[in-house]
Chain A
Amino acid sequence: MNLLDRYLQAIARLLPKERRADIIEELRVNLLAQMEDREEAVGRPLTRAEQAEILKRHGNPTMVAGRYREPNLGFSFGIQIVGPELFPIYRNVLALIFGITACILAVVTVTLAHTTHETVTLIRLLTPLPIQFAVTTLIFFLIDRGKDHVLNRWDPDELPEVKVPDEGPTKKNIFRFTGLFIGTAWVALTPHWPYLMLGPGALYLPALQLQFWPQYRFFYRAIVALLYAGLVLEFCVMNRWLTRPRARVGELVLRALGIAVGAALLVHGPNYVTSLYKDVADWANQTFYVCVAVAVAIHLWNATMEIRALIRDRHQMLPARQY
């Protein structure tokens, strides 16, 4: 069923991640049933050409995936300009273009303001956006007009080969592990080298005579222990020693402990340090308090997302596939 796998892989790439496995599995079952019916009718296994014909009749992967993505969306202005199949791609392209333009404009504006002291007006700043919108929309309008002609000219035999799942660590996992390693090292080494956190300001620490609150050691050790545990978990995930659901449960447990530590810090705050200079102590306490509050909020949000993903996977009853 190599041809079918290649076809499903092409559709899967264009589907929303959270529904991908479920939709692909359903399509697989339906297409297999159709092929088996046909085999029964002709009394022999289907040839590659016959399989390709069934897939071709089922539709171009781009169109098929497009119909699973918010099918009622489209862009109309008297006439339909971009249809529902292409609209998700159109929206993503626009978002990407606007995002890149916004970054470039920000850099250009700051540079101009510093180098020429010229005031950049809002209208001048925003001029490229409607032009880009018009050009992108025109391109998609033309593609949409000819989409039937273009999208019908495809051959299942020309679809890319199925990617065999890589057994080694993925780039994403290596990146996450490296990031966590650097973060953990930074937190663990800061008490020995305050320069890591304060930079040259660390030279003033003895003069400030900072005094940490008595429970400081307990909380600091708890945070470092959680970071070490996260590092071990990420190392196991990177080397595929843990299945994804187990890793998710592990992450969730660590996150819950992190939230508990953060909440306890917030309850005890914001008097974490005292100093000869009250202003400095107040500034340090307030900054730390806000940082902990933001960290707790981020962890709560991520925990909610992870719980949702766990519940979703439990309901889907599907094997993890390579898609």
Chain B
Amino acid sequence: MNESPLENLKLELRRGCLVLAVLAQLRREHYGYTLRKALADGGLEIEESTLYPLLRRLETQGLLSSEWREEDKRNKRFYVISREGKQVLKQLLEEWRSLDGSLENIVREVRV
């Protein structure tokens, strides 16, 4: 397989997981840069130009809330998961676990 189609497939696979990862990570408050670092530390590297607009979108959807606050003599926009976001995260996690279980079964059958 060429690298480009593989890259596209990997990108598609990751795209669906990003929201889940971001919502889960924002159970603790972060601003953009520290969130990206926290996700990278957890093994999920996201481009800045993807992550920061995603935060705005999730906030518009009511899944995150944010506020500008001063930290280290600099105003930063801190994001945290909202009540609605927590409910969505719970449902998404259930979906994820169910998918993961199904995929595991399918992959195991393929291996056999």
Contact = CB atoms under 8 A, between A and B. Distances in A.
Contacts of A34: 33, 48
Interface stretch (B21-29, B69-77, B82-90): B69-77
A37 B68 CA distance: 21
B52 A30 contact: yes
Given A67-B53, A68-B56, A30 B75 contact: no
Interface of A: 22-23, 25-27, 29-30, 32-34, 37, 58-59, 63-64, 67-68, 71, 316-318
B68 A58 contact: no
B53 A29 contact: no
B33 A33 contact: yes
Given A30-B31, A63-B49, 20 more contacts: A25-B75, A25-B77, A27-B52, A29-B33, A29-B75, A30-B36, A33-B31, A33-B33, A33-B34, A34-B33, A34-B48, A37-B37, A58-B48, A58-B49, A59-B47, A59-B48, A59-B49, A67-B53, A71-B53, A317-B68
Interface in B37-69: 37, 47-50, 52-53, 56-57, 68
Contacts of B76: 29
B5 to A, nearest CB: 14
Nearest to A54: B48
B49 A67 contact: yes
A26 B52 contact: yes
Interface residues of B, number: 19
A26 B77 contact: yes
Nearest to A59: B49
Contacts, number: 48
24 contacts: A23-B56, A25-B77, A26-B52, A26-B77, A27-B52, A29-B76, A29-B77, A30-B33, A30-B36, A30-B48, A32-B74, A33-B31, A37-B33, A37-B37, A59-B48, A59-B49, A63-B49, A64-B49, A67-B49, A71-B53, A71-B57, A317-B68, A317-B75, A318-B68
Contacts of B37: 37
A26, A32, A37, A316 — most chain B CB neighbours (10 Å): A26
Would you list the 5 A-B pairs with minimal beta carbon distance, nearest first?
A33-B33, A59-B49, A30-B32, A67-B53, A30-B33
Q: For chain B, what secondary structure do more than half of its interface residues adopt (helix, strand, loop), or is it mixed?
A: helix
B34 to A, nearest CB: 8
B28 to A, nearest CB: 17
A316 B68 contact: yes
A43 to B, nearest CB: 19
Q: For chain A, what secondary structure do more than half of its interface residues adopt (helix, strand, loop), or is it mixed?
A: helix
A22 B48 CA distance: 16
A103 B60 CA distance: 38
Contacts of B36: 30
A26 B47 contact: no
B76 to A, nearest CB: 5
Contact of A26 (B32, B34, B49, B50): B32
A32 B34 CA distance: 12
Contacts of A63: 49
Contacts of A318: 68, 75
A106 to B, nearest CB: 39
B34, B57, B68, B74 — most chain A CB neighbours (10 Å): B68
A63 B48 CA distance: 12
Nearest to B34: A33
Contacts of A25: 75, 77
B36, B49, B53 — most chain A CB neighbours (10 Å): B49
A29 B48 contact: no
